Structure 1
């Protein structure tokens, strides 16, 4: 199990990106949350299998999107952080 915090730049607020990311993460059985940041970026904190995290990261950052991802991602940052074992579910804030 691993945990990644992915922050994406671009046209990602007000277009359903958070809700789309939440849906994909749930399909992949990840736990965590997606949230808008005050600077216009979206932050996704996700935890689960390495394979599932890789799938989420690819879907969030691929150019051009093959998954119907809303908005437009122009950049991203990924931080690998300590796992939180008690996490449940995936939500959007």
Structure 2
């Protein structure tokens, strides 16, 4: 079991539709830590850290998002491992 972290920038109608909270729920269910936060340009930044398979599953879910979201693009990059105790929204 390998651990990894990825940073995703999610573009589309993803602010004001519960995207961060829904991402937190998906991450916690998968045992993934990190954060989801709004950016000033309308995107949401998501950091996901955990077992590679769980991180990949949540990363794939980012393309869907909650019912009211309209995701047009998800840019994902691997980043250095960060140890987080939880998944925060901010």
TM (norm. structure 1) is 0.88
Q: 2:52 aligns to what?
A: 50
Aligned to 1:60: 62
Q: How does 1:1-93 map to 2 (within 5 A)?
A: 1-61=3-63, 65=64, 68-85=66-83, 87-93=84-90
Q: What secondary structure does 1:14 align onto?
A: coil
CA contact (8 A) 2:19 2:66 kept: no
Residues 17 and 66, structure 2, Cα contact 8 Å, conserved in 1: no
User: Which stretches in structure 2 are left out of the alignment for 5+ residues?
Assistant: none
Q: Which runs of 4+ in 1 moved over 4 A?
A: none
Distance 1:56 1:37 in 2: 20
Contact 2:18 / 2:66 at 8 angstroms: preserved in 1?
no
Q: CA deviation at 1:70?
A: 3.5
* Total equivalences in the alignment: 88
Please, which runs of 5 or more residues in structure 1 have no aligned partner? none
> Residue 38 of structure 1: CA displacement?
0.3
How does the TM-score come out when normalised to structure 2?
0.91
What is the root-mean-square deviation of aligned Cα atoms in Å? 1.3
